[in-house]
Structure 1
Amino acid sequence: MLFDLDGVLVDSRDAQLATLAGYATAALGKRVTVADLPADAATTPREYVLSDLGLDGSINEEGWAAASATATLTAEVFPYVAGTLAALREAGVGTGVVTLRSRERVNWLLPQDILDRLDTVVCYEDAQPKPAPDGVLLALDRLEVSPRAGIFVGDTETDIHAAHAAGVTAVGAGWGFAGPEALTRAGAHLVMPRADHAAFVLPLLVGIGRQEDNSKRS
């Protein structure tokens, strides 16, 4: 079972918006607050958001990293995560993260006890970014799981499109950045409206998937 990071495992929406505002403040030399950002800033590529604020050209990655490092101090892992990952491991289910974050920033966001519960982490530098299926397929290959048996839990249309392209079951995390309606429109096979649903829905999905797989082989 694979997960996106931001908005799915980590409550980082406010941190993402604060990073955008902080970077824009430093680059423009004037105060930019979260309220000044476009309404869809959390789900829009950063280049477009910053362009709307009056910034043109490439992003200074050192400046972005500094803004992100400060902002992510406020991000916290969702309460369901530790117990769910532990339950999946106990059931013999491989787990992983497929994220657009760099490996450095993954380590900023996830505490070591959560990283220890994951079997693989695929970052921005490891594969073609979503919505391409490459990262999902790389994680499945590392876990030795076929796409037919794979599940990817994401919170944006990009995640759902990547899941479809990889041929895995697409599960929408409705508590994340895009919201349940957008995930349904994008084609999620199942949308969980709230994070507290994950603790019992995800292990159930694994059990159903195994039953279906066994029935196809018999």
Structure 2
Amino acid sequence: MTVRSAFFDLDGTLVDSLADLADAVNHMLSSLDRPALPLAEVRLLIGKGAHNLVRRALKSDDEHIVQQGLARFLEYNHGHIVDKSRLYPGAREALESLVDNGITLAAISNKNEALSRLILGELGIAPLFEVICGGNSFAEMKPSPLPLLKTLERLDISATEAVMAGDSINDIQAGRRAGITTIGCCWGYGAPEELRQADYRADSCSDVSRIILTGKSP
């Protein structure tokens, strides 16, 4: 496996953002006189973008209400993006190791692009990435392969020269549909069965960099 670029999901892969996302969800729910959700329930809502998260948190398909909630969620999350969010242990070192070895990095999230850029900037790792895109960057988001395919085009590389690392089925399916080698990150928000189809599975950020650089499982 010769890798020129590594694609990473954000929430649950590089960044433990669950507490901040839960705070934003519960602020939104409170503003609409809805009961708060426990952390464990919010965790299950993450992965398919803010609109889906808000719709499921509200338990409503009324688009007017969902849009109200989405605006309040995004506004709060923007203002509290790293109150509690932190990089996972070894994430910064793993990314720096890849860059030092000539690997180009791309962040491909279903989080809003502006929020993706903000959180990476606040955590001090945005300069490591050649490409940063979010759930609103293209016409489709993961598990569609479109964001990955567009990133391949931008970097002028083939699918066989890239790796997609993520913690959920959205990342694994997007990678497989794009013909890209996948690494399932076992510490994130996705259930273990979501990672079964991944080409590799990693238990830590250092495992991810080791797989990419050596082509071998830990």
TM over 0.5: yes
Is residue 66 from structure 1 mapped to residue 75 from structure 2 by the alignment? yes
The 8 Å contact of residues 172 and 180 in structure 1, kept in 2 or not, is answered as no
Residue 133 of structure 1: how far off its partner (Å): 0.6
> Within the alignment, does 1:119 sit opposite 2:127 as a pair?
no
In structure 2, the partner of 1:84 is: 94
The verdict on how the C-alpha distance between 1:144 and 1:181 changes in structure 2, with shifts beyond 3 A counting, is same
What is the CA deviation profile of residues 65-85 of structure 1, one whole-angstrom value per residue up to 9, with x for unaligned ones? 123235532111223121111
Q: Would the aligned equivalents of 2:7 and 2:105 in 1 still touch at CA under 8 Å?
A: yes
Question: Unaligned regions of 5+ residues in structure 2, if any?
Answer: 1-5
Structure 1 residue identity aligned to 2:125: I
Question: Matched residue of 1:152: which SS?
Answer: strand
| Root-mean-square deviation (Å) | 2.5
Q: Which amino acid aligns with 1:49?
A: R
2:3 maps to which residue?
none
In the TM superposition, residue 192 of structure 1 has moved relative to its aligned partner by 1.3
- Distance change (3 Å), C-alpha of 1:49 and 1:145: same
1:102, 1:96 → 2: CA distance?
Answer: 15
Percent same amino acid among aligned pairs?
20
Relative distance call for 1:35 and 1:136 in structure 2 (3 A) is closer
CA drift at 1:31: 4.5
The TM-score normalised by the length of structure 1 is 0.81
Query: Taking CA–CA contacts closer than 8 Å with sequence separation of 6 or more, which of the two structures ends up with the larger relative contact order?
Result: 2
In the alignment, what sits opposite 2:191? Answer: 179
Give the direction of change, closer, same or farther, for the CA distance of 1:143–1:203 in structure 2 (3 Å limit). farther
Q: How does 1:1-218 map to 2 (within 5 A)?
A: 1-27=6-32, 29-34=33-38, 37=41, 40-43=44-47, 45-52=52-59, 56-57=62-63, 58-60=66-68, 61-72=70-81, 73-111=83-121, 113-127=124-138, 128-184=140-196, 187-193=197-203, 195=204, 198-208=205-215
Going from structure 1 to structure 2, the CA distance change for 1:91 and 1:102 (only over 3 Å counts) comes to: same
Amino acid at match of 2:184: G
Alpha-carbon shift at residue 33 of structure 1 (Å): 4.0
SS at match of 2:142: coil
Q: Distance in 2 between matches of 1:208 and 1:171?
A: 11
Q: Which amino acid aligns with 2:67?
A: I
Counterpart residue identity of residue 11, structure 1: D
Do the aligned residues in 2 keep the contact of 1:155 with 1:175 (CA within 8 Å)? yes
Decide whether the 8 Å contact of 1:38 with 1:49 is kept in 2. Answer: no
Find the structure with the greater CA-based Rg. Answer: 1
- Does the 8 Å contact 2:9/2:166 carry over to 1? yes
Distance 1:63 1:80 in 2: 33
The farther-off stretch of 91-100 and 108-117 is 108-117
Kindly state the Cα deviation for residue 208 of structure 1 after the two structures are TM-superposed.
2.7
Counterpart code for 2:206: A
Q: How many aligned positions are there?
A: 202
**1:5 Cα deviation from its structure 2 partner:** 0.8
Distance 1:157 1:201, change over 3 A: closer
